[in-house]
Structure 1
Amino acid sequence: MGSVDAHFVPLARRILPGTYAVEVAAAADVTVALRLLLSEAPAVSWHPAEFTDGTHGVGVDAGNVALLDVGSLVECQAQRIEAMFQEHMERLMETPGTMFGLTGEVVDAVMVSSGYGDGTYPCYWGLAADGSLTSLVVDFRVLAENILRTSRVPFQPGPVSTPELAAHELQITANDGAFVVSSRGEDLTGLRVLAPDGALLLDADYLGTFITGGISSKTWNPDALPPPGSVLEVTEYLGYRHI
């Protein structure tokens, strides 16, 4: 009998031991959000809930998310966790959420269906006026839309110096008739090259991506050089808003 191989990343901020309510919001049988209520005080501000690895979202690859007491989890044997997971995953077929105890009669875990399924979902701490925690929310982004911004700059070799794109370290490099478009981070969701008359010369979604050191690069091998006056169209992800 082995213990749990604890390859997990807990939330960086701790909460006081106690008994707390859990709420599940759903729309048309789809889980919209999960909330752990920590106090009766209203939240006056919301802040991304950081994990110990510096991220602010919970990754999902099994269609569900669980809130667990870390102390109980590390004391639990792997076979028991696997058995409980299978049991409660089946229950989620009929209910948006299920609660259970990891090591005994005390309920210290809740599991819910994760919106439309797998992905990475943002988590937020709600803070009261005095700075104390009021709640923890996992937003499954069901009733949400992305906020996007599109910019157009001249297509020419060299760094893209437009102020609104500066943080992405966007650069075009020419190499024997090919062009490499590189950028930092993952917030650029679209890259296209347009001729002066607006005709589409390249949609970078159809190119492979090479990533090293946080820099993503795509290589374009056009049949002919883009004509003078061609434009690089860049679409950025700026966040999301609820609808």
Structure 2
Amino acid sequence: MSELLDKIQNRVIDASITNETIGSLTVFSGEIIACDPLIPHHEPFAKRVSPGVYPVILWWHQEEERIAGAELRLSEEKPVRWEMAVRPGQNISSLEPGSVFGFPVDAGLGCFADARAIQEMERLEERLARELGDQFISFYDNKIEFILEENEDNWGNLLVKEENGLNVILFASGYGDGHYASYWGIGDNGEPVALVTDFNLF
């Protein structure tokens, strides 16, 4: 277990780490995606959760003044163990020592989203490109940048479908680009109580 996961499991707040609840994620389908929102073709994790609205918490490395991890809290119950979040077809036993299944980051951003929210985000990008024509630079420049600016470029809440509240919670990814794993926190009953993306600052 990483030091970050240990701190989250025990709800540790000390001189090295603090946390901040930044909003709630609407889960409609139960299929969760953690990814760089600007890299297309994302696949949800194999494990599903109950539809609902769940808080998203950022864990800050105090000395580095960077986001060490992002947590989708599914329950107030503390995890009793952690398991790497995998997508269909991924087998943890096939990994070489020190390797992880995770997602690549090329824009310094990660996110949590329902699978349907990612689909709606891609449609939003297509509509924006059509509407702006030659004024469309990129989805980041014409949309996401302004949402992040509201929170000093650290995080943002992108509403992609107003009718049902589907949204994408965006956050800066530690030191930036890289490859980051996510982990399910499992409760006493064997069900997930949290999902954490670890940005390897601890």
* 2:167 equivalent among 108, 115, 135: 108
- Percent identity over the alignment is 29
* 1:70 lines up with 2:115 in the alignment: yes
Q: Which amino acid aligns with 1:100?
A: L
**SS of 2:169 mapped into structure 1:** strand
Structure 1 residues 69, 118: CA separation in 2 closer, same or farther (over 3 Å shift)? same
* 2:156 equivalent among 81, 98, 103: 98
Q: Which amino acid aligns with 2:42?
A: F
How is 1:15-164 mapped onto 2 (pairs within 5 angstroms)?
A: 15-27=49-61, 28-54=64-90, 56-76=101-121, 77=123, 78-80=125-127, 85-86=140-141, 87-92=143-148, 94-104=152-162, 106-143=165-202
* Structure number with higher helix proportion: 2
Aligned partners of 1:59 and 1:89: how far apart in 2? Answer: 20
TM-score where L is the length of structure 2: 0.61
Q: Deviations over 1:32-76 (max 9, x none)?
A: 100000011110000000023527212111110111111232244
**SS of 2:57 mapped into structure 1:** strand
Q: Note if contact 2:147-2:158 (Cα within 8 Å) is conserved in structure 1.
A: no
Aligned partners of 2:177 and 2:81: how far apart in 1? Answer: 28
Q: Which amino acid aligns with 1:122?
A: A
Q: Deviations over 1:2-25 (max 9, x none)?
A: xxx962222121111101000011
Q: Which amino acid aligns with 1:59?
A: P
Q: Deviations over 1:114-159 (max 9, x none)?
A: 110111111100000110110000000012xxxxxxxxxxxxxxxx
Q: Note if contact 1:9-1:53 (Cα within 8 Å) is conserved in structure 2.
A: no
TM-score where L is the length of structure 1: 0.51
Q: Note if contact 1:40-1:134 (Cα within 8 Å) is conserved in structure 2.
A: yes
Gapped regions of structure 2 (runs ≥ 5): 1-38, 91-99, 130-137
Report the aligned-residue RMSD: 2.5
Q: Which amino acid aligns with 1:20?
A: Y
Q: Note if contact 2:147-2:157 (Cα within 8 Å) is conserved in structure 1.
A: no
Gapped regions of structure 1 (runs ≥ 5): 144-243
Q: Note if contact 1:64-1:112 (Cα within 8 Å) is conserved in structure 2.
A: yes
**SS of 2:193 mapped into structure 1:** strand
How is 1:200-215 mapped onto 2 (pairs within 5 angstroms)?
A: none
Of structures 1 and 2, the one with the larger relative CO (CA 8 A, separation 6+) is 2
Q: Note if contact 1:46-1:127 (Cα within 8 Å) is conserved in structure 2.
A: yes
* Structure number with higher strand proportion: 1
**SS of 1:115 mapped into structure 2:** coil
- Please name the residue that 1:156 is paired with: none
Q: Note if contact 2:118-2:168 (Cα within 8 Å) is conserved in structure 1.
A: no
**SS of 1:108 mapped into structure 2:** strand
